[in-house]
Chains A and B, each alone.
Chain A
Amino acid sequence: MVESIPSLAALKRHIASLDRAPARDACARFATGHAPLDDALGGGLACGRVHELFGEGEEEGAAAGLALLWAQLAGGEAPLLWLRTQGAARVGGAPYGPGLAALGLDPARLLIGTMADDAMLLRAGIDALRCPALGGLVMELRGRAPLLDLTASRRLALAAEASGVTALLLRIGGAPTPSAADTRWRVTAAPSAPLPGNGPGRAAFALTLLRRRAGSDGQAWRLVWDRDRGSFGDAGDERHDDGRDRADAYAPLSGAELPLSAGRSAADRAA
Chain B
Amino acid sequence: MVVETVRGAMRLCSVDADALAIGLAPGMTLADARACEPDLRVFDADPHADQDWLERLCDGCARYTPNAAPDGAAGLMLDISGCGHLWGGDEALAADAAARLERHGLRVRHAIASSPEAAHALARFPGPPAPDEDAAVRRLPVEALGLDAADAVALRRAGLRTVGDLASRPAATLAARFGEEAIDALDALLGRGHRPLAPRRPRAAVRIDRLFAEPIGSTAYALTILEEMAAQAGERLAERGEGGRRFEAVFFRSDGLAFPLRVETSLPVRDAPAILRLMRERIDSLSDPIDPGFGFDMLRLTVPQAEKLAPTQLALEGGEARREDSVAALVDRLSIRAGRARIQRLAPRDSHMPEQAQLALPAVEPRAPESWLERADAAGEPDDPPLRPLHLFDPPQPIEVMAQLPDGPPHRFRWRRGLHDVARYEGPERIAPEWWRAKDGAIAGDGIGRTRDYYRVEDARGRRYWIFRHGLYGAEATHPAWYIHGLFA
Residues of A within 8 A of B (CB): 57-62, 64-66, 68-69, 78-79, 81, 92-103, 106-108, 110-116, 120, 123-124, 127-128, 131-134, 188-192, 194-195, 197-206, 225, 227-228, 249
Contacts and interface: CB of A to CB of B under 8 A. Distances in A.
B179 interface: no
Given A93-B392, A189-B461, 9 more contacts: A61-B488, A92-B391, A95-B390, A100-B390, A134-B330, A192-B385, A200-B464, A202-B386, A203-B385
B390 A65 contact: yes
Given A206-B462, A249-B461, A116 B378 contact: no
B487 A97 contact: no
Interface stretch (B31-39, B146-154, B339-347): B339-347
Given A58-B418, A65-B489, A103-B489, A198 B372 contact: no
12 contacts: A57-B416, A60-B487, A61-B463, A65-B390, A93-B393, A95-B346, A98-B348, A99-B389, A102-B386, A110-B346, A132-B325, A134-B330
A200 B410 CA distance: 14
Contact of A225 (B418, B424, B487, B489): B489
Q: Report, nearest first, the 5 A-B pairs whose CB atoms are least far apart.
A: A65-B489, A199-B426, A61-B487, A102-B386, A93-B391
B327 A79 contact: yes
Contact of A97 (B325, B372, B462, B489): B372
A199 B380 CA distance: 15
B292 to A, nearest CB: 27
Which residue among A57, A64, A69, A93 has the maximum number of chain B CB atoms within 10 Å of its CB? Answer: A93
B338 A116 contact: yes
Nearest to A93: B391
B338 A124 contact: yes
B371 interface: yes
Contacts of A97: 346-348, 357-358, 372, 378
A133 B358 contact: no
Interface string B335-374: 0011000111111100000100110100100010011110
Interface of B: 325-327, 329-331, 333-334, 337-338, 342-348, 354, 357-358, 360, 363, 367, 370-373, 375, 377-380, 382-383, 385-394, 416, 418, 423-426, 456-458, 460-464, 486-489
A127 B333 contact: yes
Contacts of B333: 127
Given A93-B487, A108-B370, A133-B327, A192 B424 contact: yes
Nearest to B485: A93
A93 B385 contact: no
A66 B488 CA distance: 11
B364 to A, nearest CB: 11
Contact of A115 (B342, B375, B391): B342
Contacts of A69: 489
Nearest to B370: A108
Contacts of B426: 195, 197, 199-200
B391 A94 contact: yes
Contact of B462 (A107, A191, A227, A228): A191
Contacts of B457: 200
B418 A111 contact: no
B330 A102 contact: no
B394 to A, nearest CB: 6
Nearest to B426: A199
B462 A189 contact: yes
Which residue among B333, B348, B489 has the maximum number of chain A CB atoms within 10 Å of its CB? Answer: B489
A204 B458 CA distance: 11
A134 B375 CA distance: 26
Contact of A101 (B347, B378, B463): B378
A84 B424 CA distance: 31
A190 B462 contact: yes
A99 B357 CA distance: 11
Given A79-B327, A112-B345, A192-B424, A98 B375 contact: yes
B421 to A, nearest CB: 11
Which residue among B392, B394, B463 has the maximum number of chain A CB atoms within 10 Å of its CB? Answer: B463
Nearest to A239: B383
A188 B379 contact: no
Given A61-B464, A111-B344, A200-B464, A101 B331 contact: no
Nearest to A92: B391
Which residue among A57, A66, A194 has the maximum number of chain B CB atoms within 10 Å of its CB? Answer: A194
Which residue among B377, B380, B418, B461 has the maximum number of chain A CB atoms within 10 Å of its CB? Answer: B461
B325 A133 contact: yes
B487 A228 contact: no
Contact of A200 (B326, B360, B388, B456): B456
Given A93-B392, A102-B378, A206-B462, A200 B342 contact: no
Contact of A112 (B344, B348, B385, B424): B344
Contacts of A205: 489
Contacts of B456: 199-200
A131 B325 contact: yes
A64 B344 contact: no
Contacts of A93: 391-394, 486-487
Given A96-B392, A192-B462, A249-B462, A107 B346 contact: yes
A199 B424 contact: yes
A175 B370 CA distance: 40
Contacts of A120: 338
A200 B459 CA distance: 9
Contacts of B394: 93-94
B372 A103 contact: no
Given A93-B392, A195-B426, A134 B327 contact: yes
Contacts of B380: 102
Contacts of A128: 330, 334
Contacts of B354: 96, 98
B486 A99 contact: yes
Contacts of B460: 191, 249
A133 B326 contact: yes
B489 A203 contact: yes
Given A188-B462, A191-B458, A192-B464, A113 B392 contact: no
B463 A62 contact: yes
Contacts of B458: 191-192, 200
A94 B357 CA distance: 13
A64 B488 CA distance: 10
A200 to B, nearest CB: 4
A143 B208 CA distance: 50
A96 B385 contact: no
Which residue among A107, A188, A194, A200 has the maximum number of chain B CB atoms within 10 Å of its CB? Answer: A200
